[in-house]
Amino acid sequence: MVKFGTSRRLKRNDIYTYLMEIFIVIFGITAAYQLNVYYEDQKDLKLEMAAIKRVADENANNMHVFETLIGSRKKLEEDTRQLARFLFVGEDLEVDSISHYLFDINRTHKPITQMEALNFYLNSNYTNKNSDLKSALIQIKAYYLELRDVVDYYVRMKEKYYSDFLVSDVDFGEEKIISLEKIQSVEFKNLVVNLLSNELELNSLFDRVYDRAITLDELIDERLN
């Protein structure tokens, strides 16, 4: 009877030992997995922070582009408004009074916005801790694309309807007015009014994009600090 009892106790101890070994193995695998996940997350976080820093530098460059254009854009808007005033006064126009405005408003300002770092970050698959930042980047990218399309459209319209309309009366290369005939026409007055409307709309879009860039800069600063 003693042998049977001893045999049963040994078997029971063997089961406990076996279960303990299984527990230790499972615990070890789980701990190793969690550590690996932690180190991978830390690695991804460092890579993400580096990518966000590149986005910050790119956004700062874009903001600088907008800031350098503020004066030129406002001047273009005011020159267009002033030319419209001259045209609608109804008095006889003089070349000296309008030539400055006539040639100045033929200029265009096309901002060159960078989106390489922005696109890289949006296409990355780092952590999910900065979903609000990605949302902000998606929004400002849409603004950049809209601004680019609007500017390109206005440039084409200005070339087609402004420069082409005056091609026989104005030498844009020498900046000389040859004749005032078309300039005094109702068609040209309406054309300048349309140009002014376009400039106002474009400047409003510039301001919205610039404000969005400032907001993005503040959000990025929170992430990096």
Write the DSSP assignment of 40-76 as a string of letters. HHHHHHHHHHHHHHHHHHHHHHHHHHHHHHHHHHHHH
Secondary structure letter of residue 161 according to DSSP: I
Q: Which residue has the higher pLDDT, 174 or 65?
A: 65
211: nearest Cα among 53, 63, 76, 52? 63
Burial class (CB within 10 angstroms; exposed 0-12, middle 13-18, buried 19+) of 188: buried
What is the percentage of the chain residues whose pLDDT exceeds 70? 82
Angle, CA 67 vertex, CA 131 and CA 82 arms, to 5°:
130
Q: Where are the beta strands (DSSP E) in the chain?
A: 170-171, 176-177
Task: Write down the domain spans for the chain.
Answer: 2-224
Q: In the block, which residue shows the tokens 């089961």?
A: 15
Q: What is the mean pLDDT of residues 80-109?
A: 82
Is the model's pTM score more than 0.85? no
pLDDT at residue 40 in the model: 59
- Please write the tens of the pLDDT for every residue from 37-69: 655 566 667 888 899 999 999 999 999 999 999
Average pLDDT, the chain: 84
